[in-house]
């Protein structure tokens, strides 16, 4: 009898549609849970040995683990596990394997970031809203060429976005990273102190990991240091920005606009002032949700589960906060 694998939160149905699901079925009996795990009956969970968790859509804590007495392994898609109580998992001896090597987000997140940059400079949110309301607005946009882009975080996403902006759109690109290094990197992109980057950039894009140091990094003080009329884009983590401070900066006219794919609390509250601002482009955390990502997630889950069952799962695949 094959062990049971429970797949959570496949809201789009792309995991179920992946060709790698058939491979997974050769090594495990698969169940999809079409509703939150809190709503599952205990008899649905009692024999589950493996979980496949889709990004951070379900909090996995001691309460959840107590209902999964035979859980051994969490196949965590993506490279983070902010939603998993690692201490509770360790107490139970539950192994957490991360899908760190997904390639598609390295393309999809920078693509979305550039789409936001173009949309804000050419005032597409305002134009779209006016046209849908039967208007013919007189709008004046700006070109990207020659404008300064400040990139916060030169990891995989930030580096690729910086290259696109520099090479395809002739933007002047500068960057800041948490090392505090003020020297140009091997990519030839100048590193500036944070204050100088904020003060001189026409658009700032956030590509940092969420950490105690980056949480609320972009606060009212930083927003006040930004160049008047600049744009702010965040496709990284919502908690990096102090959201009320951002709302105040947008309402005051200090910033020309913002593009946000991530928020401190998701889903974004229906009554959030951000939803009614014409100069703000909002997307519901879709930077990573492309078909190619789901297929890679399923492929990695098959590989990791196979290796776990064979006793060959590498320590480099495991979550070690």
Task: Give the whole-angstrom CA distance, residue 81 versus residue 228.
Answer: 37
154 CA to centre of own chain: 15
What count of Cα atoms within 13 Å lies in the side-chain half-sphere of residue 109? 26
Give catalytic status of residue 191 as yes or no.
no
Rounding to the nearest 10 degrees, give the CA dihedral for residues 43, 44, 50, 53.
-140
Name the catalytic one among 195, 266, 275, 291: 266
In sequence order, the 6+-apart residues with CB closer than 8 A to the CB of 227 are: 198, 199, 200, 201, 202
Q: From 196, 198, 174, select the one nearest 185 (Cα to Cα).
A: 174
Give catalytic status of residue 31 as yes or no.
no
Omega of the bond leading into 267 within 30 degrees of 0 (cis): yes
In sequence order, the 6+-apart residues with CB closer than 8 A to the CB of 151 are: 158, 161, 162, 173, 174, 175, 176, 189, 204, 205, 207
Give catalytic status of residue 266 as yes or no.
yes
In sequence order, the 6+-apart residues with CB closer than 8 A to the CB of 99 are: 75, 76, 77, 78, 79, 296, 297, 300, 301, 304
Name the catalytic one among 44, 80, 285, 307: 285
What count of Cα atoms within 13 Å lies in the side-chain half-sphere of residue 280? 21
Name the catalytic one among 237, 243, 295, 296: 237
Ramachandran region, residue 93 (left: φ > 0; alpha: ψ -120 to 50; beta: rest): left
SS3 label, residue 79 = coil
Residues involved in catalysis:
237, 266, 285
């Amino acid at each position: 009898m094959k062990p049971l694998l429970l797949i959570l939160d496949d809201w789009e149905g792309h995991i179920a549609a992946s060709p790698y699901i058939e491979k997974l079925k050769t090594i495990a009996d698969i169940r999809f849970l079409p509703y939150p795990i809190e709503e599952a009956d205990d008899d649905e969970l009692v024999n589950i040995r493996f979980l496949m968790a889709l990004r951070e859509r379900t909090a996995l804590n001691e309460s959840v683990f107590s209902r999964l007495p035979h859980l051994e392994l969490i196949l965590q898609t993506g490279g983070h596990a902010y939603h998993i109580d690692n201490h509770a998992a360790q107490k139970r001896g539950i192994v957490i394997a991360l899908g760190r090597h997904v390639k598609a987000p390295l393309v999809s997140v920078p693509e979305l970031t550039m789409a936001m940059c173009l949309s804000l400079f050419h005032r597409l949110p305002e134009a779209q809203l006016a046209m849908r309301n039967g208007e013919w607005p007189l709008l004046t946009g700006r070109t990207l060429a020659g404008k300064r882009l400040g990139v916060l975080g030169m990891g995989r996403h930030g580096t690729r976005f910086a290259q696109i902006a520099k090479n395809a759109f002739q933007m002047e690109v500068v960057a800041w990273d948490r090392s505090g290094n003020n020297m140009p990197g091997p990519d030839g992109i100048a590193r500036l102190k944070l204050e100088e980057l904020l003060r001189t950039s026409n658009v700032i894009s956030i590509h940092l990991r969420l950490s105690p140091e980056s949480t609320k990094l972009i606060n009212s003080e930083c927003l006040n240091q930004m160049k008047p009329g600049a744009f702010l884009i965040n496709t990284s983590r919502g908690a990096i920005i102090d959201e009320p401070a951002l709302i105040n900066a947008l309402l005051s006219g200090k910033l020309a606009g913002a593009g946000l794919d991530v928020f401190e609390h998701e889903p974004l509250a229906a009554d959030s002032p951000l939803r009614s601002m014409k100069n703000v482009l909002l997307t519901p955390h879709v930077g990573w949700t492309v078909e190619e990502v789901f297929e890679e997630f399923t492929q990695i889950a098959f590989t990791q589960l196979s290796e776990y069952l064979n006793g060959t799962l590498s320590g480099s695949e495991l979550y070690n906060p």
